[in-house]
């Protein structure tokens, strides 16, 4: 089934040709969520391979052993993406597929290199620009076992930089858009503060055997910032002139609105929440070169300090602002001292404000609601604070009622809720561009339904429905794929 008139152009006439002709759009994925082939052709174990094979860690008891079989079906997927009209595809490399044991002195798996070369070639041949993420949460398990992974900044940085250099060497002749880390904050918060993601460390002994949420979270974040900057330094000094690419980092962050807009404490709390979530990584890179003052005031010496060398290395270490965002929360100030394991800025996040206004329509994911107005505000907040080009690298939604048996009925494939989500958010993006915000890409999350980390197969974010029970994970395009195709033709000049 296809929707040849998913968007006819009559609405939003004032937004026609708002986006530049070289604007990139497409879908984003992560290796651990789509590739499958978790131990095939020499691939080493990652922390997510270990996590999902540990009973009780994944909501539906599933593993990523097969995921969407993208490792075997990449040609089919590229053909499908091309039919959707995408101009770019953002995907991540599995570190342990390229260097199975992860370390700087460990052997390279040439079969893994060949796979990514084939994928990149297939994209380029079909006119799709590759955006490549080096790290999307899947540290090689061997490094975790050997020295604690990111908890050991010196050893980890050496290994990560060698991995990055290998990728630049082998793929940089065709890859011109590099992202070092995807959502370093989510990786640390879920993996080391809450302990609900790999590597499953926290202070909560009913959940994790090891970890300290009050300190490890910030140690790991510091390691990510410093290792990111070292990898960027290598790219800029050794590869950039010849290869002519860009390199940066992608940060997460949802918008925070004050619960009571007339209460100065809630207004300050919303700003503080944005700083704890976003400026935590963005200020050292794009701002004044250090963590936000609000974080230092609450956390004291539990928040690491940059050496002079680290500060100089990290500041300016991204050619663009990679932006992942999904929703908005109402934020209320909390009186009294913050809990030692607090990572939000001593605030409460709520679904309605003081006047009873909801933050948006509910999706099939408890934390995610449609909130386009906050998205527009966040684009402007980031632009005003940092004034660097923004690449929207993830944005999307789940929709209720998509957990059905194959073949999916028309009501599932006609995913009106997701279409309305994309439409409302992209309107805000186009309006922000009209107001002078420099936005250069948009990647929907995600191409197909996938293995959604600790949620397993229970969160369907895809613009393509997957029959996970079928041997070859049969793909069924949803209307949202064709809507994005048609709407970007409306928004982008010359299309």
Taking only the tens place, the pLDDT of each residue in 58-90 is 999 999 999 999 999 999 999 999 999 999 999
* Residue from 424, 427, 421 nearest 439 by CA: 427
Return d(Cα 149, Cα 155) in angstroms, integer. 8
Residue 410 lies in a domain: yes
Per-residue exposure over 379-414, b if at least 16 CB sit within 10 Å of its own CB, e if not = bbbbbebbebbbbbbbbbbbbeebeeeeebeeebbb
* Residue from 133, 276, 281, 140 nearest 198 by CA: 140
User: Binning pLDDT at 50, 70 and 90, where does residue 9 land?
Assistant: low
Burial of 13 (0-12, 13-18, 19+ CB in 10 A): exposed
The pLDDT of residue 8: 58
Mapped onto helix, strand or coil, the DSSP state of residue 164 is helix
Residue 480 lies in a domain: no
Measured CA distances, 417 to 402, 422, 430, 481 (Å): 11, 9, 20, 13
Residues 6+ apart with CB under 8 A from 137: 30, 32, 47, 48, 182, 183, 187, 191, 197, 198, 453
The pLDDT of residue 495: 85
Average pLDDT over residues 330-338: 97
Residues 6+ apart with CB under 8 A from 121: 174
Partners of 322 in beta bridges: 250, 391
Q: What is the pTM of this model?
A: 0.97
Residue 10 lies in a domain: no
Residue 8 lies in a domain: no
Residue 2 lies in a domain: no
Measured CA distances, 414 to 62, 77, 131, 443, 465 (Å): 27, 20, 29, 20, 11
The pLDDT of residue 5: 53
Return d(Cα 224, Cα 216) in angstroms, integer. 12
Query: Which of the residues 35, 144, 394, 428 is marked catalytic?
Result: 394
Residues 6+ apart with CB under 8 A from 357: none
CATH number of domain containing 269: 3.20.20.80
Look up the domain containing 145 and give its range: 24-473
The pLDDT of residue 171: 99
3-state SS string for 261-295:
CCCHHHHHHHHHHHHHHHHHHHHHHHCCCCCCHHH
Query: Which of the residues 35, 144, 183, 275 is marked catalytic?
Result: 183
Mapped onto helix, strand or coil, the DSSP state of residue 234 is helix
Positive or negative: CA dihedral 272, 276, 277, 282: positive
The pLDDT of residue 10: 61
Alpha-carbon radius of gyration of the chain: 21
Active site residue 183: yes
Q: Are 82 and 128 in contact (CB under 8 A)?
A: yes
Average pLDDT over residues 113-117: 98
Residue 52 lies in a domain: yes
Return d(Cα 267, Cα 276) in angstroms, integer. 15
Residue 92 lies in a domain: yes
User: Binning pLDDT at 50, 70 and 90, where does residue 6 land?
Assistant: low
As for how many domains the chain has, the answer is 1
User: Binning pLDDT at 50, 70 and 90, where does residue 11 land?
Assistant: confident
Whether the pLDDT of residue 2 is over 90: the answer is no
Active site residue 348: no
Residue 111 lies in a domain: yes
* Residue from 1, 3, 126 nearest 486 by CA: 3
Whether the pLDDT of residue 459 is over 80: the answer is yes
Query: Mean pLDDT score of the chain, rounded to an integer?
Result: 97
Partners of 303 in beta bridges: none
């Amino acid at each position: 089934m296809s929707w040849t008139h998913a968007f006819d152009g009559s609405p939003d006439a004032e937004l026609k040709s708002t986006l530049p002709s070289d604007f990139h759009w497409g879908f984003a994925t992560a290796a651990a969520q789509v590739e499958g082939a978790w131990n095939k052709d020499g691939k080493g174990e990652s922390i997510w391979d270990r996590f999902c094979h540990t009973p009780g860690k994944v909501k539906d008891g599933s593993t990523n052993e097969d995921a969407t079989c993208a490792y075997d079906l990449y040609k089919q997927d590229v053909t499908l993406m091309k039919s959707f009209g995408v101009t770019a595809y953002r995907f991540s490399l599995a570190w342990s597929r390229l260097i199975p044991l992860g370390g700087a002195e460990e052997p390279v798996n040439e079969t893994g290199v060949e796979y990514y070369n084939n994928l990149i070639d297939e994209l380029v041949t079909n006119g799709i620009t590759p955006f490549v993420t080096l790290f999307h949460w899947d540290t090689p398990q061997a490094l975790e076992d050997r020295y604690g992974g990111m908890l050991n900044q010196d050893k980890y940085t050496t290994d990560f930089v060698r991995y990055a250099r290998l990728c630049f060497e082998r793929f940089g002749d065709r890859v011109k858009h590099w992202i070092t880390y995807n959502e370093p904050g989510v990786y640390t918060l879920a993996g080391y503060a809450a302990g609900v993601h790999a590597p499953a460390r926290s202070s909560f002994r009913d959940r994790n055997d090891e970890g300290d949420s009050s300190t490890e979270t910030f140690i790991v974040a510091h390691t990510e910032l410093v290792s990111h900057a070292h990898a960027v330094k290598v790219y800029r000094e050794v590869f950039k002139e010849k290869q002519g690419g860009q390199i940066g980092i992608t940060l997460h962050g949802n918008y925070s609105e004050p619960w009571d807009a007339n209460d100065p404490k809630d207004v300050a709390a919303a700003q503080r929440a944005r700083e704890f979530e976003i400026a935590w990584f963005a200020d050292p890179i794009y701002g004044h070169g250090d963590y936000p003052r609000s974080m230092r005031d609450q956390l004291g010496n539990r928040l690491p300090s940059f050496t002079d060398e680290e500060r100089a290395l990290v500041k300016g270490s991204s050619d663009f602002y990679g932006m992942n965002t999904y929703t908005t929360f109402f934020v209320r100030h909390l009186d009294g001292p913050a809990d030692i394991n607090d990572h939000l800025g001593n605030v409460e996040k709520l679904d309605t404000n003081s006047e009873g206004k909801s933050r948006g329509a509910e999706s099939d994911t408890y934390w995610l609601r449609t909130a386009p107005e906050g998205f527009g505000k966040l684009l402007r907040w980031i632009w005003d604070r940092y004034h660097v080009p923004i690449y929207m690298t993830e944005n999307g939604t789940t929709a209720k009622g998509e957990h059905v048996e194959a073949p999916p009925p028309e009501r599932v494939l006609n995913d009106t809720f997701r279409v309305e989500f994309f439409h409302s958010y992209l309107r805000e993006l186009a309006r922000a561009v009209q107001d002078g915000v420099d936005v250069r890409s948009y990647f929907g999350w995600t191409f197909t339904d996938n293995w959604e980390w600790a949620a397993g197969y229970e969160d369907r974010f895809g613009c393509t429905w997957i029959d996970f029970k079928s041997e070859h994970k049969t793909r069924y395009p949803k209307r949202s794929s064709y809507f994005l195709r048609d709407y970007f033709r409306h928004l982008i000049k010359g299309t």
